[in-house]
Amino acid sequence: MTLTGRLLILVLVIVTTMLISGAYLALGAARDNINNEVESSARITMQLLTAALISGHTEDQVKAQQILITHLQSLDDTRHLQIAVIRGDGRIIYPNSEQETAPSKAVPQWFYQLVKPAPAEYRKRIASPLFGSSEIVILADPIDEIKEVWLETKSVFTLIITFTVICLILMAFTIRHALLPVNNISKGLGVIQSGDYAARLPRFNLPELNRLSEQFNHMARVLEAQQQENRQLSRRLISVQESERRHLSRELHDELGQSISAIKAMAVNLRQHPNNMHDGTNAIIGVCNTMYGVVRDMMNRLRPVALEELGVETGIERLVDGWNDHQEESFCALTISGNFDNVDDDTAITLYRIVQEALTNVAKHASAEKVEITIERQSTGIIEIDIRDNGKGFDQNTPRKGMGLLGMRERVEALNGKISLVSSQNRGVTIEITIPHQDDTG
């Protein structure tokens, strides 16, 4: 069921509950009013008849009775009542029908049964010199009052129902109009799902939907930026792969290829001139040493050999020492604390590459005199890295073309870590990295 339908059903249930509660209270009040009206009319009529019997001015019994009947006839049209006068000897002075008055066809039976008061009969004995002991009998007949209440109730309920229907129609139109932006949001989500992160939502009049629009647009901007970063990383990865392949190809061709050719030529020369054995073997040993250095450099380029042979701490220390040896105006102070013996390979290479990338960035861009790198592994296995320099820094709001920081972020996030960077013009760069214990992350 749609949201509009649910809201309309909820409103209808609330209105119906209010109508039923109001009707219950109104019917109770109507029943009390009818009862009070009938009682009031009966008391007044009883007083008038008593006064009529007592104030007869003639001694003629027939004439006095005629006067009483005239008074009764004048009260015969009184609403709500049936009147009779009975003498002490049982003679009925004025006729009285004891049959219960049937409800009018203008009043539904169910409404009549709901509001009719309890049957009421009023009697009063009087002593008259003309009639002797007599009794006035008044039976309550509330049908006229019930008919009046029914007409009023029908009008009120007709008005309420009409008003409710109109309100529901207006509410349905208003809700449908107010929820039209939801269709735009749904279409926007569909566009985002298809991979087009350039989709944006307009501003809406409703504050709630407008906040949703702002959050949607922020999400789309973040996804678009990440998509762009991923594309840059992919291009960078392909470029790095091709660069490494070209480098390896040149090394293999220029260094190893020439060295192997030289060894082959020396071996042929030794076979032809065995007397030059000493000089030839020395030359071959020299070429082999050169080849070993080239191969080692190639292996270190592919994966730091120091990590495999010496561990994380010593590998990073040698990396920093080598960087300091090649820098004349900068110096890096390294501090490593904690136990790194059981660090897995992915974390180890990530730590090494982060330090390597940070030092490369400092050398290329920072113009810093001092770099401080602190690496600490806590007892819980969490690794914290703090890198600071006193270089010229940069404006973080200005887009940067370099991929070093982006690659560093990708490496950290691949291990479910967090990285934060703070920098401004002439205030250096501070990088704080937290890498969780890999056994806990999974």
| pLDDT, tens only, 40-77 | 777 776 666 666 555 554 455 555 555 555 655 555 55
Average of pLDDT values for 77-90?
Answer: 62
DSSP three-state, residue 139:
strand
Most confident of 275-289, 325-339, 425-439: 325-339
Mapped onto helix, strand or coil, the DSSP state of residue 396 is coil
pLDDT band at 431 (very low <50, low <70, confident <90, very high): very high
pTM (predicted TM-score): 0.48
**pLDDT tens digits, 207-255:** 877 888 888 888 888 888 878 877 777 777 777 677 777 777 777 777 7
Q: Which pLDDT score is estimated for 71?
A: 59
Dump pLDDT digits (tens) for 28-41. 887 787 777 777 77
CB-based contacts of 419, cutoff 8 Å, min separation 6:
408, 409, 412, 413, 431, 432, 433, 434
pLDDT at site 385 = 94
Question: Do 437 and 382 meet the contact criterion of CB atoms below 8 Å apart?
Answer: yes
User: 429-435 and 383-389: which strand pairing?
Assistant: antiparallel
User: For position 373, what pLDDT does the model report?
Assistant: 93
Tell me which of 387 and 306 has the higher pLDDT. Answer: 387
Quick one: pLDDT band at residue 97, thresholds 50, 70, 90?
very low
Q: b/e map of 248-282 (b: 16 or more CB within 10 Å)?
A: eeebeeebbeebeebeeebeeebeeeeeeeeebee
pLDDT, average across residues 328-343: 89
Nearest to 438 by CA among 353, 354, 355, 346: 346
- The reported pLDDT for the residue numbered 68 is 57
Would you state the pLDDT for residue 99?
A: 43
Please compute Rg for the chain using Cα positions: 54
> Where residue 440 falls among pLDDT bands split at 50, 70, 90?
very low
- Residue 98 is predicted with a pLDDT of 46
Question: What distance, in Å, lies between the first and last C-alpha atoms of the chain?
Answer: 42
